Amino acid sequence: MVALKEDSLVERLVYRLIKKHVAGTTMNSAIERAQEFNKERVLASIMFLSGVSDNKSKARYVTTTYTELIRRISRFGLKASVHVPIGQIGGAMDSEIATENLMEIINTGNKCGVFVWAAFSGDDNEASVAKRFKHAKGFGIAAPHGKAEEVVDKWHAKAVKILFDSKEKVESARALREIDHILKNTKTLILSSPPEQLLRSLGNSKYRKSMVLEFGLGYSNRKIMKLVNSGFLASVNLPFGKDWTYYAMDIVPEGKTHFIVGNLLKEEERQVA
């Protein structure tokens, strides 16, 4: 049997688990995928894969990446927004650094006509950064399910994206009440990764054209097109970059990682034996 370096092997195997959920490692690959979806009347939301920044230099690098991404979206005439986790641009480290970086991203978005979504994890420091820009032009706040009503009621934000966690059990009736309440008080609402039971409840025609349904890359294209053909607006989140490890932890089903990687390791061993 050929000996393999453990770290590189595990990395390759985990990437095989999540590669259908990632739009490649380069910005160009994400742009190409966005073009493909736009041709099918589907919007795109592009996110750079990077962990939480723990120093000013990394936060600066991530900020520069997003401003360049915005310029390319504009240059190619894409129907796409950018999705910026505040932790990436310094939110968990220093709110002033994150505020300065987010301001640069928003200003670039305004110049290029590209909408910017700032996502906070629920962390108070990140929330304080997002709140400062609640009425900014071309800007919206992406909040975890359960926090979105507060963003509307207390912050009076007019563009909100509700982030659903695939590992969280969502009560459809309660979520619909939350959605109805937010729709009465905002101009823009996006449901990101809505659970299947909630999607079934959204079949009512009153929700068509009133919100955008956003799905992770790897979600069934057939289901997305079915929603689009029935009158819903749909978007696909396109993450790209080499730092995909933290993203893998979010999308691989809980409790399945060791099982799947174990099977892939056995398969790899058979191939090199």
List alpha helices for 94-220, DSSP H. Answer: 95-112, 124-132, 148-153, 172-183, 196-201
Write out pLDDT tens, residues 164-178.
987 778 888 889 999
Q: Which CATH number fits domain 24-243: 3.40.50.720, 3.40.50.300, 3.20.20.220, 3.30.310.40?
A: 3.20.20.220
pLDDT of residue 270: 56
Nearest to 217 by CA among 83, 87, 45: 45
Distance CA 194, CA 104 (A): 30
Whether pLDDT at 187 is above 60: yes
Write out pLDDT tens, residues 96-149.
999 999 999 999 999 999 999 999 988 888 999 999 999 999 999 999 998 999
pLDDT of residue 153: 93
pLDDT of residue 94: 86
Whether pLDDT at 16 is above 70: no
- Listed in order, the ranges of the chain carrying CATH 3.20.20.220 are 24-243
Q: What percent of the chain has pLDDT over 90?
A: 64
